[in-house]
Amino acid sequence: MELKFAATARPNKASADVQRRQKLVRRIDQQIGYVRQMIEGGQPRGAWVWMDEAGTYLLPIKYGRQPLELKKGMFSIQCSDLDSVEAGLCTVRAMVLQGDIDDQLAKASAEIRAKFKE
């Protein structure tokens, strides 16, 4: 293996956007693990995914305890089975890393911080 060197140093502090993305990506990675446990027959506590009366899986993406509004008035992703739940989490993870959900994260973060000031 050939090493690839870079002339960059680690920044002292990441921006608030990057910190929010990293926090959400860690939680999404945890949820992917929970879904894999569910596929194997387990029932992990703290999983975001739930099943409605029709047998459809619904997946909210949460920042803190509150679900993010992914589109206007829509707070969850509809999935047919657990494999598509895992694929949905991977897709959302990629969107977070690209910065596609930064506006929703900033809004949720401001709402959470406002509750602490009360």
Interstrand relation of 76-79 and 50-51 (parallel, antiparallel or unpaired): unpaired
Phi and psi at residue 3, to the nearest 5°: -80, 145
Q: Would the pLDDT of 118 be above 70?
A: no
Q: Would 33 be classed as within a structural domain? A: yes
**pLDDT, tens digit, 9 for 90 and up, residues 18-74:** 999 999 999 999 999 999 999 999 989 999 999 999 999 999 999 989 899 999 999
The whole-number average pLDDT for the span 73-87 is: 95
Would you state the pLDDT for residue 115?
Answer: 85
Would you state the pLDDT for residue 10?
Answer: 79
pLDDT bin (cut points 50, 70, 90) of residue 14 is confident
The whole-number average pLDDT for the span 92-97 is: 96
User: Is the pTM higher than 0.75?
Assistant: yes
Would you state the pLDDT for residue 33?
Answer: 96
Q: Would 55 be classed as within a structural domain? A: yes
Q: Which amino acid is at 11?
A: P
Range of the domain at 103: 16-111
Number of structural domains (the chain) is: 1
Q: Would 95 be classed as within a structural domain? A: yes
Q: CB-based contacts of 88: which residues, under 8 Å, 6+ apart?
A: 59, 77, 79
| Mean of all residue pLDDT scores within the chain | 92
Q: Would 116 be classed as within a structural domain? A: no
115 or 95, greater pLDDT? 95
Angle between helices 16-39 and 82-98 (to 10 degrees): 170
Q: Would 8 be classed as within a structural domain? A: no
Would you state the pLDDT for residue 91?
Answer: 96
